[in-house]
Structure 1
Amino acid sequence: MTSRVLIVTWEYPPIVEGGLARHARKLSEQLVRDGVEVHVLTRGDQRSAAREERHGVIVHRVPEPSYPQGLNEFVAWVRQLNDDLLVAGRALCDELQFDLVHSHDWLVAVAAKRLADGVRRPLVTTVHATEFGRHQGWVHVAPQSDIHRTERWMVHAADQVIVCSHYMRGHVADIFDVEEARIAVIPNGIDPDDLQPKGDLDALRARFAQPHERLVLLVGRLVYEKGFQVALDALPDVIDHVGDLRFLVAGSGTADQELRAQATRLGLDEHGTFLGWIGDDALHNLYRIADLTVVPSLYEPFGLVALEAMASGCPCIVADTGGLREVVPPGERVGLRFNGGDAEHLGIMIERLLTSDELRDRLVVQAREHVLQFDWADVAEQTRAVYDGLLTDTPARRA
């Protein structure tokens, strides 16, 4: 039923800030393969074409405002971005007739809502994370309060809300006071073909660890809610008990300097490396050379890093929290869990996995089968079912 959709997102490759860009790209490309005409409205830099076709997806870009330094300035930046997206989107809607508008997160919510109202078509909103969750409920002062208020308005303004896990459905329904029936759960997908290594893995491994050493990988944005401080706290005892251990931290963020200082205080400098931000190709290689990936998040809507690690043949240990519980189910079948925020328990689980080849091998084999259920074809099929259900119920949306 759905023939043409407008997807609005603040990031789309080659502009990648995080997992949202990858999600928007894979969903869009799969919808195209399923016969849907997909237009993406997003931002671009000085090198970007105003309009281009990428793997069948027609991408329309507006020049991004000068990127801000602080969070207060970022909120103002988002307002300007929405104004620019709205102008470009209205011109696009005058040119083409869309069946619906699908927006991703609060960053483009205002532009997407006004575009949907302007053409009287349904609005679908995907909530990838919430400010409430990222800040453990501390959203009472600006700019967190501004973002939280926008997110609340966004989920009530949408005709349908999509989240990536059952945990997120309950979370969104609770903090925004919206009925769970209005929230569809569609997990993120993964494409193992995107995770193929490139280059000399033996040489890469030798850069960071000797053959007799174990290599522990931490990946993600360096922010408080990702819990890297918990993982660093766990490592000294593991090194004392296991020895011959190295760690890698791959990512950037506001907690970068604080985490580096913590590593120094804990005497970990000679045992690991902070790599900063790295591209996808480099990250996929790291999964292949690591003995273990740890995902210690305090708040995690889904857990894509764990999924990528498992698909790459790297066993993982995750915090028993949020969407990670759905990516790594109970029973020590595909990965191990630890009590979220508990560095001592994490250390015990790391030591257990690194000292048991039988456990490691069993997890790797079973995880490879487990990840097959997170398929982008299924994600797109479920998303299109949401689209078609809206078009059946509300063929012409009232402004």
Structure 2
Amino acid sequence: MTSLRIALLSYRSKPHSGGQGIYVRHLSRELAALGHRVEVISGPPLPELDEGVALTVLPSLDLYREPDPFRTPKREEFTSAIDVLEWLAMCTGAFPEPLTFSLRAWRHLHRRRGDFDVIHDNQCLGYGLLPLARLGTPLVATIHHPITVDRDLELAAAPDWKRRASLRRWYAFTRMQARVARRIPHLTTVSQASRTEIVEAFGVTPDQLSVIGVGVDTDTFRPGRGDHTGPARIVSVASADVPLKGLPELIEAVAKLRAERDVELVVVGSARPDGPAAQAITRLGLTGAIRFVSGISDDELADLFRSATVAVVPSRYEGFSLPAVEAMACGAPLVVTTAGALPEVAGPDGLAALHVPPGDAGALAAAVGRLLDDPELRRRLGAEGRRRAVEHFTWRRTAIRTAEWYERAITKESENRC
């Protein structure tokens, strides 16, 4: 395979929360290991990258950074019209980062015409990508899942019209993403379930979309003896405290389980003080039984999965679910909902995981309780989960298939120009 010069664009690449930063880090590392030259071009929060992968930072106002999200920038921070646009859009309640990052990417890359063989956008889908396609370098994009799914679930859970109006303004960028996606001929996504959702939500044609699953570092995420003693431990990962992740249902299931068993829940993520998870914890009196941890490394996450009596993915939708694969790679017995790509990732019910309907706290409690009471079933699911992760979901496999996809896009674009 020819060595390629790859520009990998990522508008935000938080390394330990959410799939985008994880995808950028591991895909770039494995592409470099295959002999390709990879340069990640990112706005804040910045990714953690491995040796051999270059990073170019496109500074922004970073309006959503911790610990001061929605901050007011100082006057000297405004250095361009794009900065002003970003600030004004945030002031109206919109989420401007996909648009403003794409404009900064255009400003940067049009000065570097000829430096790359392919430009790969990771879920930004901003208007600034469209002139990039006219630079003569093939433009491709990954859509992990359409953010319209997140929007619709949050709208359904909104308590009043004011909240719904605010959400519609925040998610207005999804209209831009749909328009841009329809103009990019080479798209990939991570599962057949996500492919179906993208075709329906964004109006792209099925032949635009290739399916390339993502992976797990099977050396870091591997079985071993956990050092946990005490109550049975349930572990779940929630990159955001939003209805999509199903945390309130999991918390309610824990309350049901604690009526008969000594259990604790550890959530990798954080809960908003006024969010649905915090409200459920207070309402059910579970403050001492549920712990949130965030900002942990891959090694720490793997240790946590190894310490789990049961791992749970309670989501109402997943375009793929890296946490499910990471838990399986660690040999953790797993319970997943049947939402989105989760059955596709975890395999048939009872093979590497138990399946439950999304949004059903009773079914979730019953499945977790079944595993807590059956050590042999936990052992069997854990062993099958590890086998499935190693055979189907490695970053090396993802990188090889992605490089083949690049080659097809480059060949097709070359034919179109002739």
Same-fold call, TM cutoff 0.5? yes
Give the drift of 1:271: 2.2
Deviates more, 1:27-36 or 1:165-174: 27-36
User: C-alpha separation between the residues in 2 aligned to 1:276 and 1:54?
Assistant: 21
- Partner of 1:266 in structure 2? 284
How many percent identity over aligned positions? 27
CA contact (8 A) 1:335 1:367 kept: yes
Report the TM-score when normalising by structure 1: 0.87
Query: Quick one: which amino acid aligns to residue 86 of structure 1?
Result: W
Match status 1:130 vs 2:153: no
User: C-alpha separation between the residues in 2 aligned to 1:57 and 1:256?
Assistant: 40
User: C-alpha separation between the residues in 2 aligned to 1:12 and 1:300?
Assistant: 19
Trace 1:184-199 onto structure 2 (pairs within 5 A): 184-195=210-221
- Partner of 2:338 in structure 1? 320
Match status 1:34 vs 2:34: yes
Deviates more, 1:128-137 or 1:72-81: 72-81
Q: Deviations over 1:129-176 (max 9, x none)?
A: 222111237598742452221221121121211000000111111112
User: C-alpha separation between the residues in 2 aligned to 1:100 and 1:24?
Assistant: 15
The one of 144, 152, 162 equivalent to 2:188 is 162
Trace 1:68-83 onto structure 2 (pairs within 5 A): 68=64, 69=69, 75-83=95-103
Report the TM-score when normalising by structure 2: 0.83
CA contact (8 A) 2:237 2:269 kept: yes
Which structure 2 segments of 5+ residues have no match? 71-89, 156-163
Alignment CA distance shift 1:44-1:177 (3 Å): closer
Trace 1:63-212 onto structure 2 (pairs within 5 A): 63-68=59-64, 69=69, 75-91=95-111, 93-94=112-113, 96-106=114-124, 109-117=126-134, 119-136=135-152, 138=155, 142-195=168-221, 202=227, 205-206=228-229, 210=230
The alignment partner of 1:8 has SS state of: strand
CA contact (8 A) 1:8 1:103 kept: yes
User: C-alpha separation between the residues in 2 aligned to 1:395 and 1:171?
Assistant: 30
Give the drift of 1:254: 4.6
Deviates more, 1:359-368 or 1:245-254: 245-254
CA contact (8 A) 2:271 2:292 kept: no
CA contact (8 A) 1:152 1:176 kept: yes
Q: Deviations over 1:221-279 (max 9, x none)?
A: 221100011111112222223x1111112202557743122112112223222335534
User: C-alpha separation between the residues in 1 aligned to 2:3 and 2:143?
Assistant: 21
User: C-alpha separation between the residues in 2 aligned to 1:104 and 1:163?
Assistant: 10
Match status 1:300 vs 2:328: no
User: C-alpha separation between the residues in 2 aligned to 1:286 and 1:156?
Assistant: 41
Write out the 4+ residue segments of structure 1 that deviate beyond 6 Å after TM superposition: none
User: C-alpha separation between the residues in 2 aligned to 1:61 and 1:249?
Assistant: 31
Query: Quick one: which amino acid aligns to residue 188 of structure 1?
Result: V
Alignment CA distance shift 1:303-1:129 (3 Å): same
Trace 1:217-232 onto structure 2 (pairs within 5 A): 217-221=235-239, 222-232=241-251
User: C-alpha separation between the residues in 2 aligned to 1:145 and 1:28?
Assistant: 29
User: C-alpha separation between the residues in 2 aligned to 1:253 and 1:105?
Assistant: 25
- Partner of 1:5 in structure 2? 6
Give the drift of 1:343: 0.8
- Partner of 2:397 in structure 1? 378
Which structure 1 segments of 5+ residues have no match? none
Alignment CA distance shift 1:232-1:149 (3 Å): same
Query: Quick one: which amino acid aligns to residue 259 of structure 2?
Result: D
Q: Deviations over 1:280-331 (max 9, x none)?
A: 3332221111111111000110011111111112111001111111111114
User: C-alpha separation between the residues in 2 aligned to 1:279 and 1:29?
Assistant: 17
CA contact (8 A) 1:197 1:281 kept: no
User: C-alpha separation between the residues in 1 aligned to 2:291 and 2:396?
Assistant: 37
Give the drift of 1:201: 5.5
Give the drift of 1:65: 1.4
Query: Quick one: which amino acid aligns to residue 7 of structure 1?
Result: L
User: C-alpha separation between the residues in 1 aligned to 2:232 and 2:109?
Assistant: 51
User: C-alpha separation between the residues in 2 aligned to 1:386 and 1:255?
Assistant: 43
The alignment partner of 1:101 has SS state of: strand
Root-mean-square deviation (CA), in Å?
A: 2.8
Query: Quick one: which amino acid aligns to residue 389 of structure 1?
Result: R
User: C-alpha separation between the residues in 1 aligned to 2:413 and 2:368?
Assistant: 52
Give the drift of 1:29: 1.5
